Structure 1
Amino acid sequence: MKTIIHKLDDGSEALILPRELLDGLNLQVGDQFQIIETDDGIILRPVRNTFERQMTAARDVMDKYEIGLQKLAK
């Protein structure tokens, strides 16, 4: 898989990762990476904040099913 470094309007540069790669690794906008330099190149390692993701998912479910959950709690 190949990609290219793009120049942004503010003069900085960005490495754009293919959507298929992000989807396959379950990565989303805002996820953080650790960059590791090696003799052979670089390694991009996702920094997983699974607790925060789980809490966000739980809040989404509670918001979506608030009435049903209130009835179950009685």
Structure 2
Amino acid sequence: MSTAVALKVTQIGNSVGVILPKEMLARLKVGKGDSLYVTEVPDGVTLRPYDAEFAEQMEVAREIMKEYRDVLRELAK
């Protein structure tokens, strides 16, 4: 089930951010101090709680993209 929630970008100290509603935090099973991942997808972004396995997969993907940057750029044309 997908739920759309409108969030306002607001000033938080010297930065800007969004405040997630309690219900969304509960669904993500995260709280104050936890880390989240934002990933670009074709139709927007996804927000996920920190997962050590996912973090490792993302690091491997970054290394591959860096190593094969020129090849990937050509394939994207």
Interval containing the TM-score (normalised by the shorter chain): 0.5 to 0.7
**Pair member with larger Rg:** 1
- Whether the aligned pair in 1 keeps the contact of 2:28 and 2:48 (CA below 8 Å) is no
| Structure 2 stretches lacking a partner, 5+ long | 53-77
Counterpart position of 1:17: 20
Instruction: Indicate which of 25, 31, 34 corresponds to 1:31.
Output: 34
Instruction: Count the aligned residue pairs.
Output: 48
- Identity across aligned pairs (percent)? 31
RMSD of aligned residue pairs (Cα, Å): 1.7
Instruction: Indicate which of 4, 19, 28 corresponds to 2:8.
Output: 4
| Structure 1 stretches lacking a partner, 5+ long | 50-74
TM-score, structure 1 as length reference: 0.53
